[in-house]
Amino acid sequence: MYRTHTCGELRASDIGKSVTLSGWVQKVRDLGAMTFVDLRDRYGITQIVIAENATAELKAQAERLGREFVVQVTGTVLERSSKNPKIPTGDIEIAAEVLNILSTSEVPPFTIEDNTDGGDELRMKYRYLDLRRSAVRKNLELRARMAHVVRNYLDALDFLEVETPVLIKSTPEGARDFVVPSRMNQGQFYALPQSPQTFKQLLMVAGFDRYYQIVKCFRDEDLRADRQPEFTQIDCEMSYVDQEDVLEVFEGLIREMFKQVLNVDIPKLERMTWHTAMEKYGCDKPDLRFGMEFCEITDLVQGKDFAVFNDAEYIGAICAEGCAGYTRKQLDELTDFVKRSQIGAKGLVYIKYNNDGTIKSSIDKFYSAEDLKAVCERCGAKEGDLILVMCGKKKKTLPQLCELRLEMGNRLGLRDKSVFKALWIVDFPLLEWDDETERFYAMHHPFTAPKPEDIYMLESNPGAVRANAYDMVINGVEVGGGSIRIHDKELQARMFRCLGFTQEQAEYQFGFLMNAFKYGAPPHGGLAFGFDRLASMFAQLDSIRDVIAFPKNNSGRDVMIDSPSLIADEQLKELAIKVDIK
């Protein structure tokens, strides 16, 4: 037996006991007469003391110890003379009697501490050492607790956990698939699932009624900080439901998670239409931790001498509370911010509603004080506030103003990671026009049901048809989304036609689903949460990497195991493929 207790377990009530602990050496303090060793495991840290009167053998062992050695210590629990109130084991220490080195360690390439000296790359390469840092491990513990709460909640509601296949079929629609050459069917390929979408719908056709799975999905996309080639979804589907039923169940899930895992009470979720979100926040995932809603002022400021405004389709403003004192430099920074190529605005107009009631703006020469006051009033500005105005094509200006709003939120400290504001975005458009290919695309996916009352417009005015689709947004991040699905084979065929699929294309790609719908498909709908994102939000992190045990870097490489890698010619031959780099 390697231990009687963990390193996080012993308390004052254990004083006098003979115990055995095993763990890693966090620190050795050699005070000459005595040596103190901090012994660490997943559960905590316990102080070991090699006393002045210890045997020569024991002292010699202690002298050999270095950081990250693995040792087993047997000894007696003593009361500490100087207690450490910062750790749960701080009242006691172990007077070592036997010290057994289980593994030695080279000096680790970075310190195993919350504030490590290791850079990103080094820590990725030695991920197994990075994971020893409690800050990193705690994120993964949090993730495991979240999964536990999810499963218990859904199990209690009769959701059935079903595993869907990983080796499936490639479909050209959507993002790029990872593919797997088949040895037994040469020249043919499996694809890894981007989501279990069609399988969960088939499970509904199969009468499974309520399904869930916490499941790996795969997308071969160019990577960003919050994207990984493999990621995890909490995937769910329900039969005999309308949108309201689905929102009810998953709003309950997210509130349960916040309560059980973080002890945070999330109030009933606001429901905002996609249209309102766009008008008020310029995007479909508004951060509601702060206000600063858009205020359209087009009618107020056009028809004067300012050509830029007169030519604009849309003129919108936000009001930054208490920022009237912004300096020239601060305002220039904001202008530079919106002019960055990622945002691409031409400029920024400001109106300062000063504390003394006067108004100062970058467009003073075109507008009277009354004109500007009217703008201030429309925006609900008080004395001391700053109004920021952007203009141009509406479709372009809204997202630009959205970025500016978020930037102001950051500057004003209004985006506290420990505050959570969740809402539903509903009534998404069913279809999205793409200027480049000159066709409509499904905004969610081709199985999403239109709102019954809008179906009549499917052919005549497709862009106006709203979908029974919904996203859950928390703090400006889309954490989940889903829809009621089409369960009628005629409507599904009509939808494919709207998307420009020929009968043959639809048949080839989704034939098995359309076939299934011939045999009595129930009304159904569902949703999927991005589990990595949700976990990183719960952990108050910016990137999903630190809630993934072994993440890949931006080139899709696992630098720890050095993958992907070359494979043997023999393997390629068996698979009947050849590498063909141009």
Within 14-43, which residues bind a copy of itself (CB under 8 A)?
22, 24-25, 40-43
Peptide bond into 88 cis (omega under 30): no
Q: Is 303 one of the binding residues for a copy of itself (CB under 8 A)?
A: no
CA-based nearest residue to 189, from 210, 171, 209, 165: 171
Compute the least distance from the CB of residue 284 to a copy of itself, in Å: 28
Which residues, 231 to 270, sit near a copy of itself by CB under 8 A?
A: 232, 240-242, 245
Do β-strands 270-273 and 349-353 pair in parallel, antiparallel, or remain unpaired? unpaired
Which residues, 36 to 75, sit near a copy of itself by CB under 8 A?
A: 40-43, 68-70
Q: Is 355 one of the binding residues for a copy of itself (CB under 8 A)?
A: no
Alpha carbon 438 to chain centroid, angstroms: 32
Q: Is 536 one of the binding residues for a copy of itself (CB under 8 A)?
A: no
Q: Is 148 one of the binding residues for a copy of itself (CB under 8 A)?
A: yes
Length of the chain measured in residues: 582
Residue of 35, 116, 139, 198 that binds a copy of itself (CB under 8 A): 198
171 vs 302, beta carbon nearer a copy of itself: 171
Helix (H) or strand (E) holding 246: helix 243-257
Please report, as a single letter, which amino acid is at residue 149.
Answer: V
396 vs 489, beta carbon nearer a copy of itself: 489
Residue of 128, 313, 332, 459 that binds a copy of itself (CB under 8 A): 128
d(CA 434, CA 440): 6
108 vs 399, beta carbon nearer a copy of itself: 108
**Choices 214-222, 360-368, 467-475, 495-503 (CB under 8 A): range interacting with a copy of itself:** 214-222
218 vs 290, beta carbon nearer a copy of itself: 218
Q: What is the DSSP string of 439-465?
A: EEEESS-TTBPBPGGGGGGTTT-GGG-
Compute the least distance from the CB of residue 68 to a copy of itself, in Å: 4
Compute the least distance from the CB of residue 363 to a copy of itself, in Å: 48
Please report, as a single letter, which amino acid is at residue 504.
Answer: E
Which residues, 149 to 188, sit near a copy of itself by CB under 8 A?
A: 151, 155, 160-170, 172, 176-188
Tokens of 310: 């007169």
d(CA 471, CA 133): 35
Compute the least distance from the CB of residue 534 to a copy of itself, in Å: 14
Q: Is 562 one of the binding residues for a copy of itself (CB under 8 A)?
A: yes
d(CA 420, CA 243): 24
d(CA 470, CA 526): 10
Compute the least distance from the CB of residue 281 to a copy of itself, in Å: 32
Residue of 48, 99, 218, 390 that binds a copy of itself (CB under 8 A): 218
Q: Is 118 one of the binding residues for a copy of itself (CB under 8 A)?
A: no
Long-range residue pairs from 4-8, CB within 8 A, at least 24 positions apart, any chain: 6/41, 6/42, 6/43, 6/44, 7/39, 7/40, 7/41, 7/43, 7/44, 7/45, 7/46, 7/89, 8/41, 8/42, 8/43, 8/44, 8/45, 8/46, 8/88, 8/89
Dihedrals phi, psi of 124, to nearest 5 degrees:
-70, -40
SS3 category, 500: coil
**Choices 291-299, 401-409, 422-430, 563-571 (CB under 8 A): range interacting with a copy of itself:** 563-571
433 vs 550, beta carbon nearer a copy of itself: 550
**Choices 140-148, 284-292, 304-312, 314-322 (CB under 8 A): range interacting with a copy of itself:** 140-148
CA distances from 560 to 105, 155, 347, 565 (A): 18, 37, 46, 12
149 vs 499, beta carbon nearer a copy of itself: 149
203 vs 301, beta carbon nearer a copy of itself: 203
Q: Is the backbone of residue 382 left (phi > 0), alpha (psi -120 to 50) or beta?
A: beta
Compute the least distance from the CB of residue 260 to a copy of itself, in Å: 13
183 vs 395, beta carbon nearer a copy of itself: 183
